Structure 1
Amino acid sequence: MAFQTLPNGDKQDFPWWLVALAGLALALAITIAVNDLYKQVFETVSRGIGVTIFVTLTGFALACLLGLLLALAGMADSIVLRQVSRFYVEVVRGIPVLVLLFYVAFVGAPGFVSLYNSLTAPLVNAGWLEPLQVRDVSLMWRAIVALCIGYSAFIAEIFRAGIQSVDKGQIEAAKSLGLSRTQRFRLVVLPQALRVIFPPLSNDFVAMVKDSSLVSVLGVADISQAGKIYASGSFRFFESYSIVAYIYLILTIGLSLILRQVEQRMRARQSQAPA
């Protein structure tokens, strides 16, 4: 059959695109195995996979934490918190991630070092601490902070929409049971909001895997940087960037398929749950 029927009655085409993509991936994997040049390129570029994964996981975890705090501030009783949250979200969403990378790396880091040295000046003068240098601040962490800032604004809106989608009646019922605000959020609001939050949040996670390639402009040794170095030294641009694209496709499409399965299971559990 060319399609299958979903439980809600919609028709889903058979994923021929995935079959074609798997065929291309298999062909390139065989090429890597039998061709010494492609094998060498792959071994060189794959050294950056660990850095890419670390930057993505750390940056996304921090972005989720900051985004949740911004979402809660945006729904707070205090008008000051609401306005500060909205100001942050609107400003950061209007700045490209690449510009944030440069700003954090070359403006924010020196500013942080200057502030740190000012605050610790008495300890430095007493000989208890050494003054901090800009070069002491890792470029990788500068990149992680920039990705965290850039994505937290979008994630804040995702959390806000998910939290506001929870039925107000259930929150009132939780209040009548004597649950505190923290308990209501942890036991009633967040579990239900996750069903709404998960799909766009998983999309942002996959997007961060791709945007993590921007950290190569700072010299961070991720997949893109490893490919760029090899290509500039060997002038094998086609082979180098083909392998770079191949690895990113494996990571992003693999993650997309896994997260899609998780989302479908969450929906299945929701439909089977008693009303």
Structure 2
Amino acid sequence: MTFETDTGTLLAQSQQRARRLRRQQGGTDWTLFLAGAGLILWGVVAGAGAMRYNWQWYRIPGYFWRKIDGEIVLGPFIKGLLVTLDITFWGALLAFGIGLCVALLRLSRSWAGHALASAYLEIIRNTPLLVQMYLFYFVLSPILGIPRFWTGVLTLAVFEASFISEILRGGILSVPRAQWEAASALGLRGYATYRKVVLPQAVPLMLPPLTSAVVNLVKSSAIVSTIAIFDLTNEGRTIIADTFMTFEVWLTVAAIYLVLTISLSAIAALLDRRARKFTER
């Protein structure tokens, strides 16, 4: 009885110390974050003050939406954000599809398939995204008759798929060989092995890097402004050309991107926790 009591006391103390360490670490992280954000803000304000910049923040809300004759009219920021979300959605779908095909080719026993996938990865990952955008827009788009919007989506998807394919392949290979052998011993084949044995173990490992890939896709989508697609970045440039509110507009655009990427990361963290709970059952 005494031994059980001592063990329970030690366990409770250990849990208290762990919670205390987590609180201290969280407090340190928040302190560093606030200090860094304050330093950046100070730099922006000091720089603008040295330039004698005239801040006009009161004009920014009108570029989100306006109420005209009792109707709400969307402003450039919202229109650009919707285009960015549209590009991200279709780009992510295509990137996952292409990435899955490339990963399966890399895992296959086909020499030709493996060589083709390896060549694709080496070419795409070792050339700048901007160069790829120009090649798709000025070379492939006129030949194949691809609209401007889909040219941007396809370029982003092909580029990001090169990273997603390796994430998927690494997640699949992380499952121990014994699990594959156990599935084979139970009579599972092909699709059933992946669905019941491999993916439940691989998905929780793949979610964090896949989230990073989607977040990177959101940020990389700004490059479509170079081919005159009116996404969030291009709308910001247009507003600056009309108003010369450089600081206000770019800070607002950066804040919108930041909210979008943090929201995606939070959703992915929630999915990761649920996937891990499902795996532990």
TM-score by length of 2: 0.76
For structure 1, the residue ranges without an aligned partner over 5 or more in a row are: 25-33, 114-136
Check the 8 A contact 2:92/2:157 in 1, yes or no. Answer: yes
Match of 1:94 among 126, 138, 144: 126
* Alpha-carbon distance in structure 2 between the residues aligned to 1:94 and 1:41: 39
Partner deviation per Cα, 1:80-100 (whole Å, 9 max, x = no partner): 111111111111111122211
For structure 2, the residue ranges without an aligned partner over 5 or more in a row are: 1-16, 39-55, 65-74
Q: Does 1:165 align with 2:174?
A: yes
Instruction: Go from structure 1 to structure 2 and tell me whether the alpha carbon gap of 1:10 and 1:169 turns closer, same or farther (over 3 Å shift).
Output: farther
Q: Does 1:37 align with 2:49?
A: no
Q: Report the alpha carbon displacement of residue 265 of structure 1 after superposing the two structures with TM.
A: 4.0
Larger CA deviation: 149-158 vs 102-111: 102-111
* Alpha-carbon distance in structure 2 between the residues aligned to 1:5 and 1:145: 47
Q: In the TM superposition, what are the counterparts of 1:1-275 in structure 2 within 5 Å?
A: 5=18, 12-14=25-27, 16=30, 20=34, 36-42=58-64, 43-113=75-145, 137-270=146-279, 273=280
Q: Report the alpha carbon displacement of residue 77 of structure 1 after superposing the two structures with TM.
A: 1.1
Check the 8 A contact 2:203/2:275 in 1, yes or no. Answer: no
User: Rg larger in 1 or in 2?
Assistant: 2
Partner deviation per Cα, 1:106-165 (whole Å, 9 max, x = no partner): 11112224xxxxxxxxxxxxxxxxxxxxxxx32110000001100111111111110101
Q: Percent identity?
A: 33
Instruction: Go from structure 1 to structure 2 and tell me whether the alpha carbon gap of 1:60 and 1:11 turns closer, same or farther (over 3 Å shift).
Output: farther
Check the 8 A contact 1:41/1:240 in 2, yes or no. Answer: no
Q: Report the alpha carbon displacement of residue 59 of structure 1 after superposing the two structures with TM.
A: 0.4
Q: Secondary structure at the match of 1:220?
A: coil
Q: Secondary structure at the match of 2:136?
A: helix
Q: Secondary structure at the match of 2:264?
A: helix
Letter in 2 for 1:207: N
* Alpha-carbon distance in structure 1 between the residues aligned to 2:177 and 2:84: 41
Instruction: Go from structure 1 to structure 2 and tell me whether the alpha carbon gap of 1:59 and 1:96 turns closer, same or farther (over 3 Å shift).
Output: same
Instruction: Go from structure 1 to structure 2 and tell me whether the alpha carbon gap of 1:148 and 1:18 turns closer, same or farther (over 3 Å shift).
Output: farther
* Alpha-carbon distance in structure 2 between the residues aligned to 1:53 and 1:165: 32
Letter in 2 for 1:38: I
Letter in 2 for 1:85: A
Q: Secondary structure at the match of 1:95?
A: coil
Q: RMSD between aligned alpha carbons?
A: 2.8
Check the 8 A contact 1:202/1:259 in 2, yes or no. Answer: yes
Q: Report the alpha carbon displacement of residue 222 of structure 1 after superposing the two structures with TM.
A: 0.9
* Alpha-carbon distance in structure 2 between the residues aligned to 1:217 and 1:65: 25
Higher relative contact order (CA 8 A, sep 6+): 1
Q: Report the alpha carbon displacement of residue 262 of structure 1 after superposing the two structures with TM.
A: 2.9
Residue of structure 2 in register with 1:117 after alignment: none
Q: Report the alpha carbon displacement of residue 11 of structure 1 after superposing the two structures with TM.
A: 7.2
Number of positions where the alignment pairs a residue of Structure 1 with one of Structure 2? 236
Larger CA deviation: 215-224 vs 12-21: 12-21
